[in-house]
């Protein structure tokens, strides 16, 4: 895949008086890279790039994003078109298989999702082992890892079974998420139903109860589809890179996805949607004055950050946040909800977009700023927000795992480092050690 993108151009690098030529790679949308794979073997030097701000770890045909212009596409389709016109299941198919499904392909993929929705009854006992207040992300990560013991179909070529594994995961993760909520509430489990669409089925498992049957609401189903699509993939972010890195050691898909879920949990990554709503709730409880939060975020001595703002790649509006903001207005109006947190969020956004600190640093609302307000409106509890992100991101993780497994340039992921510890020193036997000689 990479080889046909070598442009023939060379970058030059002079080290210790010798000039080296390094090949230049140009991607489909014009992004440029200098190929340094032979750098250490030819020069003895490595590159230093904490946080991988300038490091390409792979080539990929899944997602393109341009952070300067605010462009995002999956497999060549603009995120705006996909969010407007597709169901989440269609987009999941697109990410995993590379093309939008025909009606027949969509039908058979949807049937597979229906088939696989149940959990093995032995897995259901696992839920009883967690304490009642267990974090849903901890449950999700553990349960997904345990799937590998129930479905050990990793052969020498796991790509033979990838369609099966992908459908199984996409379907079962939804059931695991809903069951973990029911368990945390101490309510009876609601099993998946064949006659409901992917999102309607999830909502029914979450909210149906023996005393109050759930009525599927099309507005809620539509906005959930949109949110999951918007979270479907985002190229080499922290959790996706985790899935690839763990997978590079040839680890099974379920264990890699479990690792990705753990990475997503962090408040600087997927955990930000929960942190945003908690921040807005705190501001609301304290009388609605958000200015103190903005002042704290700008104070270099205070580690506090205005969650929901800033992005490693986007230096303009995140295209997803524009769609989510509009969806937020639409769904709250349709459900006739007047959420004070939405008012506070809009005031914060307005103030931040005019504030020199945020303007200079190109800090705009990200995907997490408004998504939590929608989740609140449709009844998803705050500690499940990051689980919802994981449901959406799952097809992207699977697509990257599949692509990595099939990549002829695949190597086990193993960064280098610059050692800055003590130089080699004499060993002192335990009996002779004092505070002065260790």
The binding site for ligand ACO (CB under 6 A) comprises 51, 268-270, 272, 297, 305-312, 361, 363, 366-368
Residue whose token pair is 């580690």? 303
Q: C-beta of 190: minimal distance to ligand ACO in Å?
A: 29
Q: C-beta of 392: minimal distance to ligand ACO in Å?
A: 10
CB nearer to ligand ACO: pick between 215 and 356: 356
- From the candidates 368, 383, 400, 407, give the one annotated as an active-site residue: 368
Distance (Å, rounded) from C-alpha 301 to C-alpha 438?
A: 35
| Cβ 257 vs Cβ 382: under 8 Å | no
Active site residue 368: yes
Q: C-beta of 135: minimal distance to ligand ACO in Å?
A: 18
Cβ-based neighbours of 372, under 8 Å, separated by 6 or more: 273, 274, 276, 277, 280, 382, 385
Element (H, E) at 71: strand 71-74
Q: C-beta of 385: minimal distance to ligand ACO in Å?
A: 11
Instruction: Kindly calculate the radius of gyration of the chain based on its CA atoms and give it in whole angstroms.
Output: 24
Element (H, E) at 294: helix 291-298
Residue 72: name the closest of 394, 387, 311, 353 by CA.
311
Q: C-beta of 297: minimal distance to ligand ACO in Å?
A: 4
| Cβ 217 vs Cβ 208: under 8 Å | no
| Cβ 189 vs Cβ 167: under 8 Å | no
CB nearer to ligand ACO: pick between 97 and 393: 393
Cβ-based neighbour number of residue 233 at 10 Å: 27
Distance (Å, rounded) from C-alpha 86 to C-alpha 225?
A: 8
Q: C-beta of 391: minimal distance to ligand ACO in Å?
A: 14
Cα→Cα distances 96→126, 262, 362, 397, 399, Å: 29, 21, 33, 9, 5
Q: C-beta of 198: minimal distance to ligand ACO in Å?
A: 22
Instruction: DSSP letter for 69, please.
Output: T
Q: Treating both helix axes as pointing N-terminal to C-terminal, what angle do 385-405 and 253-264 enclose, rounded to 10 degrees?
A: 140
Structure tokens at 394: 């799952």
Environment class of residue 159 by beta-carbon count within 10 Å: exposed (0-12), middle (13-18) or buried (19+)?
A: exposed
Q: C-beta of 230: minimal distance to ligand ACO in Å?
A: 10
Active site residue 311: yes
CB nearer to ligand ACO: pick between 215 and 360: 360
| Cβ 94 vs Cβ 74: under 8 Å | yes
Instruction: DSSP letter for 335, please.
Output: T
Q: C-beta of 341: minimal distance to ligand ACO in Å?
A: 16
Phi-psi region at 330: left, alpha or beta (left = phi > 0; alpha = psi -120 to 50): alpha
- From the candidates 97, 231, 234, 311, give the one annotated as an active-site residue: 311
Beta bridge partners of 66: 71
CB nearer to ligand ACO: pick between 187 and 305: 305
Structure tokens at 44: 């003895």
Distance (Å, rounded) from C-alpha 313 to C-alpha 65?
A: 8
Beta bridge partners of 32: 26
Which amino acids are annotated catalytic?
311, 368
């Amino acid at each position: 895949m990479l080889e046909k993108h070598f442009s023939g151009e060379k970058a030059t690098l002079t080290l210790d008086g010798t000039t080296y030529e390094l090949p230049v790679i140009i991607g489909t949308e014009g992004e440029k890279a200098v190929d340094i794979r032979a750098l250490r073997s030819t020069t003895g030097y490595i590159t230093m790039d904490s946080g991988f701000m300038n490091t390409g770890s792979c080539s990929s045909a899944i997602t393109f994003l341009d952070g300067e212009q605010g462009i995002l596409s999956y497999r060549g389709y603009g995120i705006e078109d996909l969010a407007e016109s597709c169901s989440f299941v269609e987009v999941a198919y697109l990410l995993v298989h590379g093309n939008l499904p025909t009606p027949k392909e969509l039908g058979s993929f949807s049937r597979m999702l229906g088939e696989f929705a149940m959990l093995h009854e032995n897995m259901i006992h696992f839920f009883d082992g967690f304490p009642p207040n267990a974090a849903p992300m901890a449950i999700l990560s553990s349960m997904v890892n345990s799937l590998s013991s129930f479905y050990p179909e990793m052969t020498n070529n796991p790509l033979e079974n990838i369609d099966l594994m992908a459908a199984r995961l996409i379907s079962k993760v939804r059931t695991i998420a809903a069951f973990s909520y029911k368990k945390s509430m101490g309510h009876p489990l609601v099993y998946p139903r064949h006659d409901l669409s992917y999102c309607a089925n999830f909502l029914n498992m979450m909210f149906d109860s023996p005393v109050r049957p759930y009525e599927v609401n099309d507005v809620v189903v539509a906005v959930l589809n949109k949110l999951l699509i918007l979270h479907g993939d985002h190229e080499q972010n922290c959790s996706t890179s985790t899935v690839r890195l763990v997978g590079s050691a040839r680890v099974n898909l379920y264990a890699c996805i479990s690792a990705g879920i753990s990475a997503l949990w962090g408040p600087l990554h997927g955990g930000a949607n929960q942190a945003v709503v908690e921040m807005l709730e705190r501001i609301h409880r304290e009388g609605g004055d958000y200015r103190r939060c903005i002042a704290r975020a700008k104070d270099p001595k205070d580690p506090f950050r205005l969650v929901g703002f800033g992005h490693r790649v986007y230096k303009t509006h995140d295209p997803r946040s524009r769609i989510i903001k509009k969806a937020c207005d639409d769904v709250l109006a349709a459900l006739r909800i007047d959420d004070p947190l939405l008012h506070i969020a809009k005031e914060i956004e307005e103030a931040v977009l005019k504030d020199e600190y945020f303007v200079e640093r190109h800090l705009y609302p990200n995907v997490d700023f408004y998504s939590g307000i929608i989740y609140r409106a449709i009844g998803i509890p705050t500690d499940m927000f990051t689980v919802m992100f994981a449901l959406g991101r799952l097809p992207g993780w699977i697509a990257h795992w599949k692509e990595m497994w099939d990549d002829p340039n695949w190597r086990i992921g193993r960064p280098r480092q610059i050692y800055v510890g003590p130089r080699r020193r004499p060993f002192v036997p335990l009996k002779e050690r004092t505070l002065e000689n260790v």
